[in-house]
């Protein structure tokens, strides 16, 4: 089902419109932000496509605006264990859209997906030897973090923290290093061993249940470790908020970020 219809790049007229849109609009978008999302969510596939499939449609509107690609609703019966009333929304980039996206996010990708992009571009005889790695400016890091935190972060109003975790160490390590580099904040990340017990705190076994507690779906994640970093709200307020807020699009996470900024009773505020 189509939520927002785009153009068909197989049709010459539409293809020219897509190229025109990319040229006119690419400077209006942050590929560091796109890369943060890609490091946290979305898949670079063997069939040379990038698919971002998420619950909230707001981050997908940028893809429609830039690439004139359709925003679609997932087939409910494939993900019925999550939420039938709120199926995930997704975009798919292929062909010229995929090519442009890969070239422009590559300098900002920090996780394992970087190798997938490089392999694809090498096949297309596009030189990647001079593309920088983890050389983000302060602004680019914050834009990347805005996307990654929207994809992988838990924004707690009660604790006033951003808790970010991933099974790929590189993005979490990058956050810790960048906070030190740009803001002189030392926040080490933590490594957790994944448990094979269903009720374990960091269990590899993921279950989806209905309202009566019946298991609808269960699978075991491949990762044996998970990496997490917890950023206190006082640091978010003082250093990150102004760089992140204009790029975030998911309403409840953006609202949580605003509440962190508006809070004025942080402990050790002067030492933040």
- For residue 117, what is the enclosing H or E element? helix 113-123
In sequence order, the 6+-apart residues with CB closer than 8 A to the CB of 145 are 36, 175, 178, 240, 244
Tens digit of pLDDT for each residue in 28-69? 999 999 999 999 999 999 999 999 999 899 999 999 999 999
Residue that has been written with the tokens 């971002």 in this structure: 52
Mean pLDDT of all residues in 255-260: 94
Cα-based torsion angle of the residue sequence 206, 158, 174, 64 in order, rounded to the nearest 10 degrees = 70
Task: Please name which of 265, 59, 236 lies closest in space to residue 150, comparing C-alpha atoms.
Answer: 59
Q: What is the pLDDT of residue 269?
A: 54
Per residue in 174-193, pLDDT tens? 999 999 999 999 999 999 88
Q: What is the DSSP letter of 60?
A: G
Paired tokens of 216: 């609808």
* Other Cβ atoms within 10 Å of 80 Cβ, number: 14
Question: Which runs of consecutive H residues, i.e. helices, occur in 185-250?
Answer: 233-235, 241-244
Output the pTM of the full model.
0.88
The domains located in the chain, with CATH, are 2-123 (3.10.28.10), 138-265 (3.10.28.10)
Mean pLDDT of the chain, nearest integer: 89
For the stretch 159-171, pLDDT in tens is 899 999 999 999 9
pLDDT at 87: 76
**103-107, 250-254, 260-264 — which is least confidently predicted?**
260-264
């Amino acid at each position: 089902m189509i939520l927002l219809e785009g153009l068909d790049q197989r049709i010459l007229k539409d293809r020219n419109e897509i190229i025109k849109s990319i040229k006119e609009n690419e400077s209006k978008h942050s590929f560091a932000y796109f890369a943060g999302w890609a490091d946290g969510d979305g898949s670079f596939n063997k069939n040379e496509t990038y698919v971002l499939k998420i619950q909230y449609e707001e981050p997908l509107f940028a893809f429609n605006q830039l690439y004139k690609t359709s925003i679609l609703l997932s087939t409910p019966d494939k993900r019925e264990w999550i939420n039938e009333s709120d199926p995930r929304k997704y975009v798919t980039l292929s062909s010229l859209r995929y090519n442009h996206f890969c070239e422009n996010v590559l300098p900002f990708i920090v996780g394992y997906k970087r190798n997938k992009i490089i392999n694809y571009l090498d096949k297309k005889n596009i030189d990647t030897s001079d593309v920088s790695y983890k050389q983000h400016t302060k602004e680019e890091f914050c834009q990347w973090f805005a996307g990654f935190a929207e994809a992988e972060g838990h924004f707690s109003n009660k604790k006033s923290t951003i808790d970010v975790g991933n099974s790929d160490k590189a993005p979490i390590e990058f956050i810790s290093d960048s906070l030190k580099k740009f803001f002189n904040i030392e926040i080490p990340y933590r490594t957790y061993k994944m448990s094979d017990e269903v009720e374990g705190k960091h269990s590899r076994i993921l279950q989806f249940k209905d309202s009566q507690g019946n298991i609808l779906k269960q699978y075991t994640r491949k990762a044996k470790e998970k990496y997490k970093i917890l950023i206190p709200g006082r640091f978010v307020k003082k250093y990150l908020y102004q760089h992140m807020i204009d790029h975030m699009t998911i309403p409840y996470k953006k609202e949580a970020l605003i509440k962190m900024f508006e809070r004025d009773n942080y402990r050790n505020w002067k030492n933040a």
